[in-house]
């Protein structure tokens, strides 16, 4: 079993935590946009309270370990590995509970190039434990507004993990899809499941809009969040997201494998 000390060392060496690639400038821009309730950054969450930029800096300092000094405006951001480890333990505990209850689960990612392997391993383990891994709205069209205008995608599943891809892309069901922060894919999946008479997920696992969109609709959601993803941590602070693991969500895909092993071991889901 991968121990806490070894995982902490890996987090720092892979820059999943410690000094990360996300810059302070990028994070502060996200906090400004969130404070203005820009939907590109709220990603499906409708905050209950008014969040100013200084509130978000304080929240992210508490939840992630970034600098709480608003005068710190440049350079790389920092994630406290102890906060990452604590959140991974809580994340694993929630997966273990879902496995014990054989709960229906929905997994989805807006970072398929980086995180599909992480989520697919969770889906495999939960399925083996008796959970139904849901795949609603498979193949359905999702129109998402991007910086390039309105784009049409299709909802697809790779090893039980939802993602979106451009229509006509070869290798559907196998290769990675499109990077997106949008909550529209999870809304489409949940609406399709409801229209079909269920089952609906007891737990949604993912990132970006998958977590915030599900949490906003009242579904329990857990996931991963970077320092420029304030919506997930606001959702956690306001009680609509159960667990957010602070880490860099865009490093090499193989760097997440030790986290996969750690989470599955902690959840007693190793096969």
pLDDT band, residue 137 (cuts 50/70/90): very high
Give the pLDDT score at 1.
66
pLDDT confidence band for 270 (50 / 70 / 90): confident
**pLDDT band for position 175 (50/70/90)?**
low
Question: What is the pLDDT, as a whole number, of residue 173?
Answer: 53
pLDDT at res. 145:
83
Per-residue pLDDT for 171 more than 90? no
Overall average pLDDT of the 108-127 stretch: 97
pLDDT for the residue numbered 148? 77
84-112 tens-digit pLDDT:
999 999 999 999 999 999 999 999 999 99
Structure confidence at residue 168 (pLDDT): 76
Supply the pLDDT for residue 271: 61
Where is pLDDT greater, at 198 or 190?
A: 190
Percent of the residues in the chain that have a pLDDT greater than 70, as a whole number:
96
Secondary structure (H, E, C), the chain: CCCHHHHHHHHHHCCCCEEEEEEHHHHHHHHHHHHCCCHHHHCCCCCCCCCCHHHHHHHHHHHCCCCCCCCCCCCEEEECHHHHHHHHHHHHHHHHHHHHHCCCEEEECCCHHHHHHHHHHHHHHHHHCCCCECCCCCCCEEEEEECCEEEEEEEEEECCEEEEECCCCCCCCCCCCCCCCCCHHHHHHHHHHHHCCCCCCCEEEEEHHHHHHHHHCCCCEEEEECCCCHHHHHHHHCCCCCEEEECCCCCCHHHHHHHHHHHHHHCCCCC
Confidence of residue 167 (pLDDT cuts 50, 70, 90): confident
Q: What is the mean pLDDT of the chain?
A: 95
Q: What is the pLDDT of residues 2-56, one digit of tens each?
A: 789 999 999 999 999 999 999 999 999 999 999 999 999 999 999 999 999 999 9
What pLDDT, on the 0 to 100 scale, is given for residue 218?
Answer: 98
What pLDDT was estimated at residue 39? 95
């Amino acid at each position: 079993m991968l121990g806490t000390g070894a995982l902490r060392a890996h987090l720092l060496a892979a820059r999943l935590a410690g000094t990360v690639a996300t810059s302070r400038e990028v994070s502060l821009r996200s906090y400004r946009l969130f404070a203005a309730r820009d939907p590109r950054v709220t990603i499906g969450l409708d905050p209950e309270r008014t969040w100013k930029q200084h509130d978000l800096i304080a929240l992210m300092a508490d939840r992630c370990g970034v600098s709480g000094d608003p005068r710190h405006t440049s350079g790389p951001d920092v994630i406290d590995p102890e906060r990452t480890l604590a959140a991974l333990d809580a994340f694993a505990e929630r997966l273990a509970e879902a496995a014990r209850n054989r709960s229906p689960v929905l997994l989805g990612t807006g970072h398929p190039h980086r995180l599909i392997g992480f989520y697919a391993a969770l889906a495999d383990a939960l399925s083996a434990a008796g959970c139904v891994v849901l795949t609603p709205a498979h193949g359905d069209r999702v129109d998402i507004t991007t910086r390039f205008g309105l784009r049409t995608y299709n909802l697809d599943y790779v090893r039980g993990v939802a993602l979106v891809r451009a229509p006509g892309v070869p290798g559907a069901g196998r290769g990675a899809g499109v990077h997106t922060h949008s909550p529209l894919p999870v809304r489409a999946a949940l609406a399709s499941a409801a229209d079909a008479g269920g089952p609906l997920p007891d737990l949604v696992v993912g990132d970006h809009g998958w977590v915030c969109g599900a949490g906003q609709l009242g579904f329990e959601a857990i996931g991963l969040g970077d320092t420029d993803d304030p919506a997930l941590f606001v959702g956690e602070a306001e009680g609509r997201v159960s667990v957010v693991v602070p880490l860099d969500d865009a490093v090499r895909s193989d760097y997440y494998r030790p986290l996969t092993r750690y989470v599955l071991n902690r959840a007693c889901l190793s096969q």
